[in-house]
Chain A
Amino acid sequence: MASEGQNAVSESPLRLAIEALHGRARALSEYYSVYRSGAGAHARGRRHQRVRELRHDIVRLHAWAWYLSVAGRRPWWWRALDRLSGVFGRDRREQAGRRRQRRAGIQRLSSFSVVDRAYVAHMEDFQGRLLTLQLAQQNQPDSRRAVCQKELEDGVRTLAEYRRCLAENAGRVAVICWTLAAVLRVRGWFGLDSGEPCVVDP
C-alpha cells in the first residue's frame, strides 16, 4: 500500500495521517496515565489489563507513524519491510474490533483497528471543527471561514481515502506494525527516543 498508493500522495496528506496517529497516541497516553495511577473509570481487576492494552496500542500507533514518516525517503529497511509485508500480510484477514488473546486474558485490537480508529478520531475532530465553523458562519458570515471550511472538508476526504486504503491492506498493516513496534520497544529499552512521546514495556 505504502509503496504504491501512499507514494502517489503528496507530502501534505501524509502529514495529516501522521498527525492523526500522533494525536491518537497522545490521547491514549493520557488515558494510560490515568489507568496506571489507579484512578479513573474502570473496575479494579481490569486495570492492569487495560494498561497493557493501551501500551500495546500506543506503540503500534507510533510504529505506523514511523513507517509513514519515512515513506518519502524509502530507506533500505523500509523497502525490505514493505516487501515482507507484501509476502506475509497479503492473505492475512484482519477483523475490526477487539479480539481475545489466550495469554493473560487480554483483549487486543487488530493493528488495522488501532490505526483506523486514529484516522476516524482525526476525521471527527475535523468534522467537529466544521460544525463549529458552520454555526459561526450562519450567525456572522466571514470569507476566511469559508476558506477554512474548504480545507477541513478536504482533510475529511483525505482521511476517508486513507481509511479505504487501510482497509484494503489490513494484513500488511499488521505485519508492519508488529515489526516496527518490536523495534520501538527495543529502542525504548536502550533509551533511544523515537521523536514523539512513546510508551514502551518497562
Chain B
Amino acid sequence: MSALPRDIDSRLPVVFTLADLKQQVPDDEQGAMALALRWLESGQVRQVAPPRPVFIRMGSGEIPAEADLCLALRRAFPSLVVVGGSALWRQGISRERDALLDCAVSEPVERCPLPGVRLHQRPAGWLDAVSRAGGLHGQIHEVPLLNAEMAVADAARFTDVWVPDRDHLDWRTLSAERIAAAQEIMNSL
C-alpha cells in the first residue's frame, strides 16, 4: 500500500470507474480500493453519485467542464436525461439560461455532490414511457434532452425542476396539442 502513488495517475481519464482503476493496478483489487480511498480523502477525485463507483478528477476549486460532467453522469446513470429549463434553453425555446444543469434519472439517487448539476429522481418506467412517446430530442455531450413539450409537461407534473418564466419562452414553437399529449403520459406515471 505504501508503494501506491499519492497523486492521481495521469493515464486515467478525467472520468473513470473503479473498473478503469483496477486495470491500472492489475491483480491487486485491495490496492485499487486503497488508492481510490486515498484520492477521495485528498479531494483529488470525487465520487460522482455515491455510492456508485464512478469518479471524476477535480482540479483545485474548479467546476469541471460540462462535457466531463455529462460523461461522469452518463457513466453513473444509464437513464440520464436533461430536463426542465436546461432542456428548453438548449433547444432555443427559452431565452433565460439555466444556472445548473437539471437532469432526471429513473434510478435511485442518494446524492450527487458534483457542482453545476442537479439530479432529480423519476419513477421507474419514466424513461421508457418518455422514449416510447418520442419525448427525447437531440443531445448535449451525448446526453439526451427531453423535447420541449415533454420538458414542460415533466416540469408541471413533478414540480422539482427549474423552468423559466412564461414570458421567456418562445410559445410559437410549442404545440399545445403535444403538451396535452405529454401531460397525459406524465400523469399516467
Residues of A whose CB lies within 8 Å of any CB of B are 26-31, 33-34, 36-41, 120, 124-125, 127-135, 138
Contacts and interface: CB of A to CB of B under 8 A. Distances in A.
Nearest to B17: A124
Given A30-B106, A34-B79, A37-B131, A131 B144 contact: no
A30 B79 contact: yes
B123 interface: no
Contacts of A27: 78, 107
A38 B135 CA distance: 11
A39 B19 contact: no
Given A33-B79, A40-B142, A125-B51, A131 B40 contact: yes
B103 to A, nearest CB: 13
Given A27-B78, A39-B145, A128-B53, 15 more contacts: A26-B107, A33-B131, A34-B79, A34-B81, A36-B131, A37-B131, A37-B134, A37-B144, A39-B136, A40-B139, A41-B74, A125-B52, A128-B18, A131-B47, A132-B50
11 contacts: A33-B128, A34-B79, A34-B131, A39-B138, A40-B136, A124-B53, A125-B53, A131-B36, A131-B50, A133-B51, A135-B40
A193 B79 CA distance: 23
B131 A131 contact: no
Contact of B139 (A29, A31, A41, A124): A41
B9 interface: no
Contact of B18 (A30, A34, A127, A133): A127
Nearest to B32: A127
Contacts of A28: 78
Given A127-B33, A132-B47, A132-B50, A31 B137 contact: no
Nearest to A130: B33
Interface in B50-64: 50-54
Contacts of B132: 33, 37
A30 B77 CA distance: 9
Contacts of B54: 128
Contacts of A29: 128
B27 interface: no
A176 B131 CA distance: 32
A30 B75 CA distance: 12
A27 B74 CA distance: 12
B41 interface: yes
A124 B47 contact: no
A75 B11 CA distance: 51
Interface string B75-91: 00111010000000000
A30 B78 contact: yes
Contacts of B139: 39-41
A40 B37 CA distance: 32
Contacts of A124: 17-19, 53
